[in-house]
Structure 1
Amino acid sequence: MAPWTAFSHSGDYPFDASRVRKEWRRLHAGDLEPLPEDEALLAAWALYHAGEFERATEAGLQAGPAGTNVANKATSVYAHYLEPREKNRQRLFLQVAERAAALAAAEPDNANAFYWQAYALGRYSQGISVAKALAQGVGGKIKSALESAIRLQPRHADAHVALAAFHAEVIDKVGPLIANMTYGAKKETSLNLFAQALSLNPHSAIAKIEYANALVILEGDKRMAEATQYYEEAAASSAKDAAEHLDVEMAQTELAS
């Protein structure tokens, strides 16, 4: 595989292990990843927050199972925002899903092992089409993994966002009746999960973006003004690291289009 595309604003987010440790609670308000004690692992997280996604992935994988979540997060953010080639993007998401599933099997109390499995499968599904992924049985794996993440960590805001988006996307693709009967996907559940996510992590730009998208899917034009407001709030957010920068940038691009 060709070298990864560089994050063009890495100099804007200088992180080292000390700064990561100091700002950990804010940086990980969405995923509640436990603060590692190992300095090498903190250094891997510093690379991630600075936008050095390829190096963060390599450092995480070198750290063994304890580094799997940072490797998976770095790979997933890179694949979603920066990898320009669809084939490579899908391959990266499948790698994350495989690593995360193995970690979940070895560490069944690791909420983020389940979360990154679901996230990667969800993005992979969007790439091949949600309808095709549902036909392949991927939907059940995503829903189960996200529900496991929330059961293990009830305040996991990012898992709430992902599960809420899952409900909305399934309804969008197969209709509310089949979505409910086949996948247990409901509009009310999606909206409630988004509300919980924003309550748990109110500064999250990606939560506001996904909520706005879901409002349009589930409610149509009558919620368009509200959806636009959430996009505007996301676009005006102050990014604390490279990943948040990419979220904010996406919202700004959508508003400008």
Structure 2
Amino acid sequence: MTPKAAAGFDHDAASLKSLWPQLHRGDAEPWPKSAAVVEAWRLFHAGDFKAALAAGLKAGGDGITVANKAQAIHANYVEKNEQAKLDAFLAVAARAEAQQDAQPDNANAFYLQAYALGRYSQGISIAEALVQGLGVKIKTALERAIALAPRHADAHVALGAFHAEVIDKVGRLLARGQGADARTGLQMFDAALKLNPTSAITLMECANGYVMIEGDKRMAEAEALYAKAAALSPLDAMERFDIELAKAELED
């Protein structure tokens, strides 16, 4: 799917503000104070991720958050070149880490660093990422994001995924050396579902994580979560990507 195929969510500032609590239930991002940042988010939700990146960078300050999210989402869902994906994730991670210095109380500066490093890790292999010490960075950033924003559902999902993927790749015993354990992973997924039960990506990531940690005994539940995700109506371009992925998974 291309950004054009994800069209249909071109809200003006007023309608975007009315939808903001639903659109940002996952990342707990507050309504922007700057009109320039509002415009960057408008572009993001419409699916014009490259324009949102440029607008966010130009706005600066809180605009860095939307720039980072736009570049990360474009890399994850749209970019086809694997090296370009990896380069984009590293760029987001570096920019988010710098944002942490400027805005130490910005939960999404920590979350988006972890998100980008997590996707990068999947691209190079989880085992290689652990050797490079990325696991510790991801876990630390997500724990900080949750400390700053306890209702940050996306950070709960991502932290659950950290625990689940490390366990899945290296086993429960070795996972402990990376700070990963099954109980914490399951707690993170459970919390995320309570915080954001109508998010397609939350439903899918929790489904995947439950199966990684507990195996086939959670398979029926995972399939039900995927079905619930596939039945949702998207609120923006990013969620349309997620719902299409859920539908594709159910068809396989």
TM range (shorter): over 0.9
Shift of 1:10: 4.0
2:192 matched to 1:201? no
2:138 matched to 1:139? no
2:239 matched to 1:256? no
**AA in 1 matched with 2:98:** A
User: 1:204, 1:10 → 2: CA distance?
Assistant: 17
Contact 1:6-1:52 within 8 A present in 2 as well: no
Number of equivalences: 252
User: 1:82, 1:253 → 2: CA distance?
Assistant: 16
Shift of 1:245: 0.5
User: What residue is the counterpart of 1:163 in the other structure?
Assistant: 159
CA deviations over 1:124-182 (Å, ceiling 9, x no partner): 000000000000000000000000000011110000000000000000111101111x1
User: 1:54, 1:135 → 2: CA distance?
Assistant: 32
**AA in 1 matched with 2:211:** V
Deviates more, 1:7-16 or 1:203-212: 7-16
Contact 2:47-2:238 within 8 A present in 1 as well: yes
Q: 1:148-187 to 2 correspondence within 5 Å?
A: 148-180=144-176, 182-187=177-182
Q: 1:101-116 to 2 correspondence within 5 Å?
A: 101-116=97-112
Q: Secondary structure at the match of 1:101?
A: helix
CA deviations over 1:38-60 (Å, ceiling 9, x no partner): 11111110000000000000000
**AA in 1 matched with 2:202:** A
Q: Secondary structure at the match of 2:62?
A: helix
Q: 1:1-257 to 2 correspondence within 5 Å?
A: 6-180=2-176, 182-257=177-252
Question: Identity of paired residues, percent?
Answer: 56
Shift of 1:6: 4.0
Structure 2: state its 5+ residue gaps. Answer: none
Deviates more, 1:216-225 or 1:105-114: 216-225
> TM-score when scaled to structure 1?
0.96
User: 2:65, 2:7 → 1: CA distance?
Assistant: 24
> TM-score when scaled to structure 2?
0.97
Structure 1 stretches of 4+ with a deviation exceeding 4 A read none
CA deviations over 1:3-45 (Å, ceiling 9, x no partner): xx84133432121222211211111000011111211111110
User: 2:5, 2:136 → 1: CA distance?
Assistant: 37
